[in-house]
Structure 1
Amino acid sequence: MSNFNTIWPVASFVLGAALTQFNSYLTERRQRVRDAETRQYESSRSFLEGKRNFEIEVLSDLHRCLTALSNAADALSSWYRGGEADRDLEVAHELCLRIQAETAEAWRLNGLLFDSELSRSVGDSMGLELFPNGPKVIPEESSLGGFGDSVWDAHAKVAEKLKKLYEMA
């Protein structure tokens, strides 16, 4: 019995220390797992937020570009509606250059869209050939109406997508 009384305090001390170390190990392990999950969540959230911000920026630029394109097409239509004496060819060529520049920019921005359905829809809307006789020839008045309508349709679709993205915020 006396042997038990001498061994028991030492054994309980060693057993207590071992259990405390094991508990600390388990606590640290759980904390590392929680930290890794938090980092992964934050990284994922940051990536998605960056992607959303990029998409909003591209859509905003495309929206502005389609607005300018529609305005230039409307101005060229108004140029046609003006009297023969009021038609300045320099104004028409300047409008044509603006339409070509905005169309090129819209195509560039359209290529950056994540939403492939929207990209295809915008591409189809801008797919009308406005300058079939070359970039220096002023397009026919009849082609401007269809072009302006299709650009406005694309404009409306881009605006709708922008609204959805802002509602998600």
Structure 2
Amino acid sequence: MKWPFTKNKQDQVKKTEVELPKGVFPPMPGYTNGDLIAAACKRVEKLMKEEEIDPTLARESLFALADHLNQAFETENVEYQVSTWYQKPYDTPSGRVESVSSMAESFGALAIRAAGASLAGSPLLHKGKQFWGPYIKAAGDGVSDLIITLNEPRS
């Protein structure tokens, strides 16, 4: 199976053909690394607005978060894993549901670790655990909640 697009450093899509290993599916629309990052950032941005974080600091924090999430997701090939584990054949429907639930938990945890790393050296750390705890949880929940939508019935 060939995946006809790759992204360069500036996230510009260019047409190429990459031969994927047998059994690996290309990323699914709505569940790419970019989509997962957007879901995490949306939750974190909402939290920062509620906490009335300075807009410049919030923007810088979101850039750092997106960068750390992208690095973590690229390292783990998350968009390929989500697509492959979802689309592969299962003996029972419950096998797919369990797989999606496991991915949601695992990749949500990966997002939590990346969100924590993104705060290194940030002035937001001075706000204490009562702020950064929900911050990293929001990132993880954004990713987890998007992945778990794969278990919702499709029309």
Normalised to the residue count of structure 2, the TM-score between the two structures is 0.29
Larger Rg belongs to: 1
More strand by share: 2
More helix by share: 1
Normalised to the residue count of structure 1, the TM-score between the two structures is 0.28
